[in-house]
A and B are shown apart, each in its own frame.
Chain A
Amino acid sequence: MKAGVIVFPGSNCDRDVAVAVEQVSGTAPQMLWHGDTDLPDGIDLVVLPGGFTFGDYLRSGAISARSPIMRAVAAAAERGVLVFGVCNGFQILTEAGLLPGALMRNAELNYLCRDVTLTVGTADSPFTRRYAAGETLTIPIAHNDGNYTADDDVLDRLEGEDRVAFRYAGAVNGSARSIAGVIGGPRRNVLGMMPHPERMIEAAHGGDDGRRLFESMIAAVG
């Protein structure tokens, strides 16, 4: 699998997710600078990592979503390349219009950094095929702005099209319909999620419930 991790100014989970990709796939991803205008030829997977890019100025992810490389990411998503955004990466994908909705300040205004229980919403995606729908996972979160918001029509459409990848099992951050991760793209090839699966891929992390997400992507790419 040919993977790339985009590094924005203020990304801070870029190396974590690169380690996860390498440990699970056996091949290190390329680190890509946000100011580049092209992605490497033949890329299979683009990862937008967590962080606090551009200091969360204006809105979380708003400035990064207008970075030069995002035009290439949008074009790749349209071609069916896997695009995976974690935490700030999810915020960037919504700001870029590659996923619907927006991530607002957590309902209780607290920065939340802890393990949460997730329910798998669908196994029908290149990111979740190694899970079973309804399965519960333990994955950590670490965010200020994870409160997923969209109007009812959009939420109904996401549910109707089976595009909710993950939900929080209990009240966490005020997200509409407890949504923690959303699928988009012409081939269900874009995923954004607030929790950090790259922090749960081996026993030393306290669990490996995030590992199968990476295995799913590798299996999907072949």
Chain B
Amino acid sequence: MKALVHVTLKPGVLDPQGRAIQHALEGLGFQGVEDVRAGRLIELQLADDTSDETIQAMCRQLLANSVIETFRVERA
């Protein structure tokens, strides 16, 4: 089975990359871009019997840094 882990910066954490993307979009003439947040998508190919708890543990121990990031797991 496959799990998709979406890692994003916590709401309150300033995102310099998101801001740069926003400015670049504005530079291309796109209007109405009110905010951009950049994150990371990690695809895990896992044994079928991998538990939700195990995936959550992977996220907490390595894939996301809880100081600045949150994560969301999607089973695909």
- A interface residues, Cβ below 8 angstroms from B: 58-59, 62, 66, 94-95, 100-102, 104-109, 147, 149-151, 174
Contacts and interface: CB of A to CB of B under 8 A. Distances in A.
Given A100-B67, A106-B16, A109-B20, 18 more contacts: A58-B62, A59-B65, A62-B65, A66-B61, A66-B62, A94-B67, A95-B65, A102-B68, A104-B16, A104-B68, A105-B16, A107-B14, A109-B16, A147-B16, A149-B13, A149-B67, A149-B68, A150-B67
Contacts of A59: 65
29 contacts: A58-B62, A58-B63, A59-B65, A62-B62, A62-B65, A66-B62, A94-B67, A95-B65, A100-B67, A102-B65, A102-B67, A102-B68, A104-B13, A104-B14, A105-B16, A105-B17, A106-B16, A107-B14, A109-B16, A109-B17, A109-B20, A149-B13, A149-B14, A149-B67, A149-B68, A150-B67, A151-B12, A174-B14, A174-B16
Contacts of A62: 62, 65
Contacts of B61: 66
- State the main secondary structure of chain A at its contact with B: loop
A156 to B, nearest CB: 15
B4 to A, nearest CB: 16
A153 B17 CA distance: 25
Contacts of B67: 94, 100-102, 149-150
A31 to B, nearest CB: 26
The residue among A102, A104, A147, A151 with the most chain B CB atoms within 10 A of its own CB is: A104
Contacts of A147: 16
A105 B61 CA distance: 21
A213 B15 CA distance: 33
B16 to A, nearest CB: 5
A110 to B, nearest CB: 10
Contacts of B16: 104-109, 147, 174
Nearest to B61: A66
Closest 4 CB pairs of A and B: A102-B67, A102-B68, A105-B16, A107-B16
A149 B13 CA distance: 8
Contacts of A149: 13-14, 67-68
Contacts of B63: 58
A104 B61 CA distance: 18
